[in-house]
Amino acid sequence: MADQLSILPAGQVIPTALHLEVQQSYLEYAMSVIVGRALPDVRDGLKPVHRRILYAMHELGLTPDRPYRKCARVVGDVLGKYHPHGDQSVYDALVRMVQDFSSRYPLLEGHGNFGSVDDDPPAAMRYTETRLASVGNEGLLNEIGEATVDFTGNFDNSQQEPIVLPAQLPFLLLNGCSGIAVGMATNIPPHNLGEVVDGLIALIDRPDLPDADLFRLIPAPDFPTGGEILSLEGVQDAYRTGRGSVPVRGVATLEEVTGRGRQRRMAIVITELPFQVNKASWIEKIADLTNQGRIEGIVDIRDESDRDGMRVVIELKRDVQPAVVLNTLYKITPLQSNFGVIMLAIVNGQPRQLPLRELLQTFLDFREETLTRQYSNELEKAEGRAHILEGQLLALENLDRVIHILRNAPDGTTAKMQMKEDLEFSDRQADSILSMPLRRLTGLERQNLQTEFEEISQRMEDLHSLLDNRKELLKSLKKICDRSNVNTPTRAAPGF
C-alpha cells in the first residue's frame, strides 16, 4: 500500500484519521438531508421538492383557470430544471399535494386516479393530469418575483429558482408536514384556516398576547379525515414546547341496520377515522382479530363508503353490548391512536423545534419582510412612471416650444439635447417625449395622462405611508389575511 501511494506527487496525499473523515462526511450528508430534503421551511411550509413542483407549474402557466396538464410533463420539468432525483419521488410528492385526505388544503388539483384513503396507489403519471389549486396559486405564487423573495441558481446554474415562496398564509400549520431526517424528524398536524388567521391577527394586535388566549383562538389541530381529539393536554404541551402527543379517536355511532337474512341488528357505524389511518388495513385488522377471538360479538363488516363520505358498518350479534365492542376497538385497533406532534422546521438555515407562538411570529416576520420588499419595488416603479408622466405633461404645456425644437433639429440627438437644455428634461423624460405618438396631443389623451398621473401620485403617497409607518403596514397585512380567510373554504374543527 505504501509503495502504491509513493508514486503520487508530493503534497497530494493528506493523511487523515479514519474516524475524523467519517465524522465530517456523515455530518455533511446529514445537513444535506436535513436542510435540502426532509424538513420544511418555516416561512412557506414547504420542502424543496414541493417548492420546485409549484414553481415549475407556475412557469408552465398551470393556473386554476387553465386546462389540466399531464403529470409526466410537470415531473419532467421539475427533474430537468430543478430537482435531479428520482422521478417516482417527485411524482409521489405531487400526488400528496393533490390528495384531500393527506392535505387539509390541497395545493394542486388533479384529474384522474390519485389514490384513496384505502392506500390504493395512484395511476401512473402518464395517465393523471394536474394544475395549481386556487389556494396554492394565490397563497404561494401570486406575489412571486425577485422583488419579493431571493432567487438562487439551480443544480447546474442554468436556471434560477426561488429560495422560498412568498407565502401569504402559514401553510406549515394549515397543511402540516411529516418527514424523517438524520437524527431528527418532524410531524406537524394540519389546522383550520379560520382559527390560524384569527391567531395571526391577534398576535399582530397584541404581540404580548397570553398563551391561554392564543390557545383559545387555535384550540387544536383540524385533521382532513376528521376524528375527535380526546384531550387538550397533549395539544397544549405541543403548542407550548413544540412536542406533544394528541389522542385522536374515530367517530362512531350506533344504528339499527338490516343484516343477514334481512334481520334487524345493532351496528357500529364509523364515519371518521384518525388522521393517516388506512381504512382498508384497519378493516382487515378487525377481521383478523375477530377470527382470532380477540374481538367478540361481530357478525359482519361492510365498507359502504362512497363519494359522499366514509361509512364502515360493523354488524353485531344480538346478545352483545355495543359499548363493550366499541371500547375493544378503541383499545386494540387504530380507531383510537396518538398523533405524536414534533413541530420541527428550518429557521434561518437551521432545524429548530418551535412552539406555536414562535412559529406564528416567525411567519409574521417573514410576511412583513415580503410586503416591505413588494411595496418598495412598487414604489420604485411608480416613481419612475410618475417621472415620465410629469415630463409628458410639461411637454404638452410647452407644446409650441417642443414642436419648434423638433422642427428645427437636424436629428433626434440634437432635439433631445435642446429639450434638456431649454425645458430641463431628464434623459428618460426626453426619450419618452421623442417616442410619444401624435395621438397624445388630443384633448382626451391629455386628460388620460393627467388622470394617470394623479392616480400614481396617490398610490405613491399610500406606499410611502405603508413603508414609513409600521402600523399601517401591519394593517395591510391583516387585510390580506382576512381576504385569504374569506376566499378559502373551511369546515368546523373536530369536536372534543
Instruction: Please give the positions annotated as active site.
Output: 127
Please give the Cα distance from 428 to 243 (Å, whole number): 58
C-alpha distances out from residue 412 to 254, 396, 402, 431, 441, Å: 88, 18, 12, 9, 19
Grid look-up 375527535 returns 228
Cβ neighbours of residue 147 under 8 Å, at least 6 residues apart?
373, 374, 376, 377, 378
C-alpha distances out from residue 289 to 49, 242, 292, Å: 40, 36, 5
CB hemisphere CA count around 219 (13 angstroms): 11
φ, ψ dihedrals at 166, nearest 5°: -75, 75
Residue 490 CA, chain-centre distance (Å), reads 16
The CA-based dihedral angle spanning residues 105, 159, 349, 54, taken in that order and rounded to the nearest 10 degrees = 0
CA nearest neighbour of 95 among 64, 65, 120: 120
Please give the Cα distance from 453 to 208 (Å, whole number): 43
Q: Where are the alpha helices (DSSP H) in 292-398?
A: 322-332, 356-397
Please give the Cα distance from 414 to 410 (Å, whole number): 7
